[in-house]
Every structure is written in structure tokens, then in C-alpha cells.
Structure 1
Amino acid sequence: MTSRWASFRAGLEEFCAGPYRRTFARARREEDDLFRMVVLAEALGVPDPAAYYTAELLPALYQDFHAWHRRMGMDRSPLEHVGCC
């Protein structure tokens, strides 16, 4: 009986969220891009009063940096110290 409810729940969730999956993915990507911009603001030349606190987040963002700057329309890396291209 439990497996039937679990499969019913999974089907209902797919029915409700399925059509909006692309919209959810786009919204998450835009939020991630905004977060990345806030963290990299000081390195990009924008004065950031919270740069001391966001500096420790930079290593976590470097792995996706190339995809981010390509998505933002920059052919080359805008940072001198990050040579991903």
C-alpha cells in the first residue's frame, strides 16, 4: 500500500511541476548569476562593502566561472587572475 501512495505522489508531483520545470531552472540560473555577480563585484571593479565576507566564497564559484561569463556574453574572462579561456 505504501508503494502505491509513493507512486501516486510521484505522479502527482510530476503532473504539477512538470510543465514548469524549465521555468524553475531558468529562475534558479538567474538567481545563481546574480549571486555570482555580487560575489565577484569587487574583482570586476564595482566597489563592494561586503568584499571581505564574500572573498571566502570565491573558490566555490571558480568551477562554474567559465560557463557564467560565456552566458553573460563575455568572450574572454573579465578577470586577469582567472584564466579559464
Structure 2
Amino acid sequence: MPDDSGMNAAQPWTKLFAQRWAAFRDGLDEFYKGPYRQMFAREKQSEDDFFTLIVLGEALGVPDPAAYYTAEFLPSLYQDFHAWHRRMGMPDSPLDHIACC
């Protein structure tokens, strides 16, 4: 029968190595991404705002040939609609059928 004592002795070392390697990898990830986190957040917000404008374009009076396909995204945008129109500089809801203010 094989002796399991050799495998048990190696397991703590490999587990410790894996933990330290993961900590090192996370540290490097933070080192390289950290300074740009705010820029990434701004760009994501800008893309989300543009997506909202495209989806709500037909309701805002902008002709949209893909309105049939973008209409299915409307329910996912309702929860963020108030923050979006305030960010765009509209104090009240520009849409008659969405009264959030």
C-alpha cells in the first residue's frame, strides 16, 4: 500500500504557495489597475448613458430604425432613469409615460 504521509506533507506547502501566489497576483492587479479605476468608472458611466439614450431615443423623438429591438431593454432601464435624466441636465422626466419626479 502506498504511504500517504509524503502527500500530506506536501499539501500544506502547496497550499501556502498557492495562497501567497494569489496574494501576489492580487497585489499586482491592484498596482496596475488602481490608478485608472476612476477613469474606468467614468467611461463605464458614459457608455451606460449612451446606451440609455439609444434605447430611449424613440421615446425622446429621435427616429430609431432599431426601436423594435431596443424596446425589450426598457424594463431594465426604468430603475436608473431618474439618475440618468438628472445627469443629462433634465430636472424633470422628459417622457410623459415615465413619471419619476
TM-score by length of 1: 0.98
> For residues 86 and 96 of structure 2, what CA distance do their matches in structure 1 show?
16
Unaligned runs of 5+ in 1: none
Structure 1 segments of 4+ aligned residues over 3 angstroms from their partners: none
Q: After superposition, give the CA deviation of every residue in 1:19-76 in whole Å (9 maximum; x if it has no partner).
A: 0000000000000000110000000000101001111110000000000000001000
Give 2:87's aligned amino acid: R
Which of 46, 55, 58 does residue 42 from structure 1 map onto? 58
Which of 60, 78, 81 does residue 94 from structure 2 map onto? 78
Could you say which structure has the greater relative contact order, defined with CA pairs below 8 angstroms and 6 or more residues apart? 1
Question: Percent of pairs identical after alignment?
Answer: 69
Unaligned runs of 5+ in 2: 1-16
Which of 40, 51, 68 does residue 67 from structure 2 map onto? 51
> For residues 29 and 41 of structure 1, what CA distance do their matches in structure 2 show?
18
TM-score by length of 2: 0.83
Aligned CA-pair RMSD: 0.4
Count of aligned pairs between the two proteins:
85
SS of residue paired to 1:75 = coil
> For residues 13 and 71 of structure 1, what CA distance do their matches in structure 2 show?
31
